Amino acid sequence: MHELKHHYVRTNGIRMHVHEAGAGYPVVLCHGFPEIWYSWRHQLTALSDAGFRVIAPDQRGYGETGAPPKIEDYSLRNLVADLTGMLDELGIARCAIAGHDWGGIVAWGAAMMAPDRIEKVAGLNTPFLPRPPVKPTDLFRAMAGGKFHYILYFQEPGVAEAELEADVRRTLRGFYQDLAELKIEAGSNDPPGVLGPAGGGILDRLPDRPPGKFLTPEDFEVFVKAFERSGFRGPLNWYRNFDRNWEESAGLEYRVNQPALMICAERDPVLPPRMAAGMKASVPNLTRTIIIKDCGHWTQQEKPEEVNQALIEFLRS
């Protein structure tokens, strides 16, 4: 087992907190919302043991990484520039990248915006989607039809922060659930916490009960301490850049040409496998799409062995 080490690098105007393990071909792992580097703890061990240099940063606004004050500081261009600057500081010319949830958007974006730095890309739950014809928030409003939509709820600065930071333990208990089970309990086709009747906040739609079995009490405490320290404003600002990201991508060829892997979770109601259908048109070198059975949203934590095997096979191919 390789020793896990953490350190800090200066990149794109911020100090980034980075965890690393192993040596060999470099692989960058990008976490989602609301997580930190620790969501990749199982992969740091397995991939480093398989001969890779594994790098898992706290991304901008998360954990011990810097959190600039302006909303526009969290655009996708900045998130990708954070990673390329990190690679520069680490002396890495090219690497593979994998991302889960929001980290998947960053991973696909890095492959598209910095193709000379990214040689392979893997998405967990988050597919590479074509650029929409209209602003994303317009699509979300149409989807919501006047009901609650969590991304729209996140748009107003200060509102979601006040709810989520009032009791960080309660907030994270609500998020770190088996969302497929919650969907069944609700008796609704609306993913819990995502869509629902108008009014209220996101925690009104998520239960207050122990987190999923993929987290030990010690694991849960790592996340709690991280978000008690950082708060949620930085992470929420990622959501407030959907329209800006759309506008700034107008000149890009919306296509990922690198060898790619798509890992879907069978029972993720937020990012269901059907969203990955048709990816081959925009990702012509998509080598494989895997659907992990009996898995909810927190894929690399819920099913680490399956994820590790898929990533190692892809990286070695």
Give the Cα separation of 236 and 240 in Å (integer).
7
Of the candidates 58, 73, 82, 101, the residue annotated as catalytic is: 101
State pTM to two decimals: 0.96
The CATH number of the domain where 284 resides is what?
3.40.50.1820
101 is an active site residue? yes
Averaged pLDDT for residues 284-290: 97
Spatial neighbors of 216 by CB under 8 A, at least 6 apart, are none
Spatial neighbors of 1 by CB under 8 A, at least 6 apart, are 45, 48, 49
Range of the domain at 42: 5-316
Of the candidates 17, 31, 100, 297, the residue annotated as catalytic is: 297
200-232 residue pLDDT tens: 999 999 989 999 999 999 999 999 999 999 999
| Count of domains forming the chain | 1
Give the Cα separation of 143 and 106 in Å (integer).
24
Of the candidates 62, 73, 239, 268, the residue annotated as catalytic is: 239
DSSP lists the bridge partners of residue 159 as none
In percent, the amount of the chain with pLDDT more than 70 equals 95
239 is an active site residue? yes
Averaged pLDDT for residues 311-317: 97
Alpha-carbon separation of residue 183 from 74, 78, 170, 189, 243 (angstroms) = 31, 35, 19, 7, 29
Q: Is the pLDDT of residue 187 over 50?
A: no
58-106 residue pLDDT tens: 999 999 999 999 999 999 999 999 999 999 999 999 999 999 999 999 9
Residue 69, classed as helix, strand or coil, is: coil
Pairing of strands 25-30, 95-100: parallel
